[in-house]
Amino acid sequence: MAIVKMKRLRLLCLRSDRERLLRELQSLGCVEIREPAIDLSDPEWAGLAKPESAGLEKAKQDSLLLGDALEVLRRYAPAKDGLFAQRPGITEGELFDDGAYAEGLAAARQVMEAEQALAAKTAEKAKLQTQKASLEPWSSLDVPLETEGTATVPVHFCCVPVRTDFAALEAAVGQATELAQLVRAGSDKELRYYLLICHSSALSLCSEAMRPFGASRVTLRGWTGTAAAEIAKLDGRIAALEREEERCKADLAAFGQQRDALRRCVDRATQEIGREQNKARLIDTDAAFLLDGWLPAENERELEGLLGGFQCAWEMADPTQEEYPQVPIKLKNNPVTGPFNVITEMYAMPAYDTVDPNPLMAPFFILFFGFMMNDIGYGLLMVLGTAFFLMRAKPKGGTRDMMSMFFMCGISSIFWGCLTGSFFGDFLPKLFQLTGISNDFVWFWPPLFTPINDIILVMVGSMIMGVVQVFTGMAVSVEEKFRHGNALDAVTQEIAWWCILIGAALAIAGSAVAGIPAVLGTAGIALLAVGLLLLLAGNIVRAKGIGGVMGFFGDIYNGISGYFSDILSYLRLMALMMAGSIIASVFNTLGAVFGLVPFIVVAIIGNALCLVLNLLGCYVHTMRLQCLEFFGRFYQDGGKPFRPLAVETKYVDILKEEM
């Protein structure tokens, strides 16, 4: 349960073995390849170069093709995976089967070709529908669309805005000339259409009369016959295209049988991309290549066994202190503390050769979360829900860690709920009263305390838990400083403040609390004086002069305000505990006013809402206490997560092949 010790790896191998070695390293999954600290522009390194990138580009193109094909299948052949669908298991040999990969890429191309054919049919249909819409206003006229009239009496197809008073338009044209006639056609959302038949000598008069109404000519070139006849032809072509569309969709739906194969190919392409990206970090010569990286010390013999099958030279060495900032971080924890890696990674990875916070944080996180939730019913829902999800879905990575963490927090909530007698708030007492079973409900065992009635006890308990966590963080800091040879800082900082805080508490208790021996107060004053002297001495030594005295007063002010505010921050434990209890009680009381059935309905809805709010509030505030009040005492961040070249899949699980 610590930060895994790492080894620096330097490897020189024949270039002809590069692809096979990278594949073996990916299967082993314990080597992180990094960029060597070599300036290839330096003449001293002439002859060295980066590997070609053609393989990476091809892998990315294949991945894009496969992803697009799966997206097409998602639209036309939806998968019925379900929320708890488990990923199929395959061996690495099946994953890296070149024949299956080539077949999957060919299937993806066929899917995309079918989708392109469907898109072409859809675009053609949309074009015909647009043409049909442009002809529909003229469908009532039994006039060929190519009609232009004669030289003496031309015919024009015209339109005006749909809001135009057509009767007024006809009247205006009639007043302008008797040698013109308007024949009404149809209309659409924007325009009203009509046919203008006018003697050529009166055409200018008609145009002037129609101009105030916003009239304009309509061009209907390329059409022959009446609009109704053309619309009938278009309907036939549209119907044929719709049948072709259905055939294309059926073809795409048939490709749904290839979904699993395409998903395996996506995972294969992901491995190719990862391997090619790592290959880009190598340095090549004409005959060999150089690999620089890191591996966990526990995998040293395993890697040596693999490298023994290649003609290569390698060196594995412990990192120097100057290399510590570059060492990737891998955390190794047990099933209880391991799920909290997700919290650490969200915050920041610890620096190498420092302390792993998870074993220290896990008990406090679980304890605080359950303290704030403090309900048997909510805890049972958390435990049963997360257990069901873990068993059915078998999630991996961060999702598994998060569900496992909430499972343990649910157990803690049940524990605190048993102490407070809370089951969906005061649901049971209200239920027993409404059903007439009992007007004076007594829990199966006497509650140790109730948040609403024992506010002072809850407040004191919250602050005590805060003091314990703050002092734990200080203890870890002391241990780390002693381990790194900073004993003076440990004694004159954390230990000095222990003396100050404990001494002040004893002194106050000895003088203000009846029944406590006076000698305890005297001991507290002495301990307080020792702490102040240690703090002063540390400032004088570090400042090497009178400046240390001024620094001492600054430390006193900052320390008192800092420790006081940190410990007061733990009152949020009390606030969340009381808020959850009060909200649940309010919903239960509100429902009980209207009778048994409304009570059950309102209680279910209200407690469901309360559970969601509590989950969010408890998680956020517990995170805050860990990341600010606790980590701030000892945690040194700055580490980079260990990202080895490994087989990482999204759609399948890799089964270990038996040797």
Angular region, 222: left φ>0, alpha ψ -120 to 50, beta rest: left
Pull the structure tokens for residue 259: 């979904």
Query: What pLDDT, in 10s, does the model give residues 601-650?
Result: 999 999 999 999 999 999 999 999 998 889 988 888 888 999 999 999 98
Band (pLDDT 50/70/90 cuts) for residue 361 is: very high
Using 50, 70 and 90 to split pLDDT, how confident is the model at 405?
very high
In 3D space, the residue among 409, 404, 447 whose CA is nearest the CA of residue 576 turns out to be 409
CA distances from 611 to 72, 332, 334, 554, 577 (A): 39, 32, 29, 45, 12
Q: 271-302: per-residue pLDDT in tens?
A: 999 999 999 999 988 889 999 999 999 999 99
CA dist 69 and 262 (Å) reads 8
Domain 1-51+282-330 has CATH 3.30.70.340: yes
Q: What is the pLDDT of residue 658?
A: 54
- Residue 332, pLDDT score: 87
Interval 309-346: pLDDT, tens: 999 999 999 999 888 989 999 988 888 888 998 888 88
- What would the mean pLDDT of 489-497 be, rounded to a whole number? 88
Q: Crossing angle for the helix pair 547-569 and 571-592, nearest 10 degrees? A: 20
| pLDDT (average), residues 49-77 | 91
Q: Between the CA of residue 373 and those of 407, 457, 598, 633, what are the distances in Å?
A: 13, 17, 25, 26
CB 241 within 8 A of CB 125: yes
Considering only the C-alpha atoms of the chain, give the largest distance between any 2 of them, rounded to a whole number of Å: 128
Instruction: From residue 246, give the alpha-carbon distance in Å to each of 73, 114, 251.
Output: 15, 12, 9
Q: Which long-range contacts (CB under 8 A, 24 or more apart) does 322-326 make?
A: 323/8, 324/351, 324/352, 324/353, 325/351, 325/352, 325/638, 326/34
Using the structure block, give the residue that is written with the tokens 């101009």: 211
CA distance readout (Å), 472 to 246, 504, 626: 69, 19, 12
Write the DSSP string, 301-315: HHHHHHHTTSSEEEE
Question: pLDDT per residue over 522-581, tens digit each?
Answer: 888 888 898 888 888 887 877 766 666 677 787 787 888 888 888 989 999 999 999 988
C-beta of residue 610 within 8 angstroms of C-beta of residue 590: no
Which residues does residue 293 pair with via DSSP β-bridges, in sequence order?
9, 33
**HEC per residue, 205-245:** HHHHHHHHHCCEECCCCCCCCCHHHHHHHHHHHHHHHHHHH
Work out the number of other CB atoms within 10 angstroms of the CB of residue 558. 10
Mean pLDDT of 466-475: 93
Domains 1-51+282-330 and 147-219 are alike in CATH topology: yes
The average pLDDT across 175-179 equals 90
Which residues partner with 288 through β-bridges? 14
* DSSP three-state, residue 87: coil
User: From residue 24, how far is each of 21, 275, 307 by CA, in Å?
Assistant: 5, 11, 9
The model's confidence at residue 126, banded by pLDDT at 50, 70 and 90, is: very high
Q: What is the dihedral of CA 110, 114, 119, 120, to 10 degrees?
A: 100
Whole-number Cα distances in Å, 555 to 128, 141, 280, 562: 82, 96, 51, 10
The encoded tokens of residue 553 equal 């007063």
Q: HSE, CB side, 13 Å, CA atoms: give it for residue 583.
A: 20
Radius of gyration, alpha carbons of the chain: 39
What pLDDT does 261 receive? 92
Distance CA 245, CA 40 (A): 56
Amino acid 82: pLDDT: 66
pLDDT at res. 88:
86
- Mean pLDDT, the chain, rounded, equals 88
For residue 246, give the H/E element and its range. helix 227-254
State yes or no: pLDDT of 1 exceeds 60: no
Which tokens is 645 given? 């070249």
Q: Which residues on adjacent β-strands are paired with residue 136?
A: none
Give every CB contact of residue 18 below 8 A, 6+ residues apart in sequence.
Answer: 51, 279, 282, 289
Local confidence band at 380 (pLDDT 50, 70, 90 cut-offs): very high
Phi and psi dihedrals of 166, rounded to 5? -70, -35
At 589, list the tokens: 């009381």
Q: Is 46 helix (H, G, I), strand (E, B) or coil?
A: coil
| Beta-strand relationship, 2-3 and 331-332 | antiparallel
CA distance 44 to 118: 58
Closest CA to 101 of 61, 62, 57, 53: 62
Q: Is the pLDDT of residue 443 over 70?
A: no
Q: What is the mean pLDDT of residues 241-248?
A: 93
Residue 243 burial (CB < 10 Å; 0-12/13-18/19+)?
exposed
Helix and strand counts by DSSP (H, E) for the chain: 22, 16
pLDDT value of residue 193: 93
Whether the model clears a pTM of 0.75, i.e. scores above it, the answer is: yes
- Delimit the domains of the chain by residue range: 1-51+282-330, 54-128+229-279, 147-219
Q: If pLDDT is split at 50, 70 and 90, which confidence band does 364 have?
A: very high
For 101, 347, 608, 620, the CA distances from 93, given in Å and listed in that order, are 12, 38, 47, 44
pLDDT band at 659 (very low <50, low <70, confident <90, very high): very low
Q: What is the Cα 572 distance to its own chain's centre?
A: 27
Question: What is the third-level CATH fold of 147-219?
Answer: Alpha-Beta Plaits (3.30.70)
Residues 54-78: what's their mean pLDDT? 92
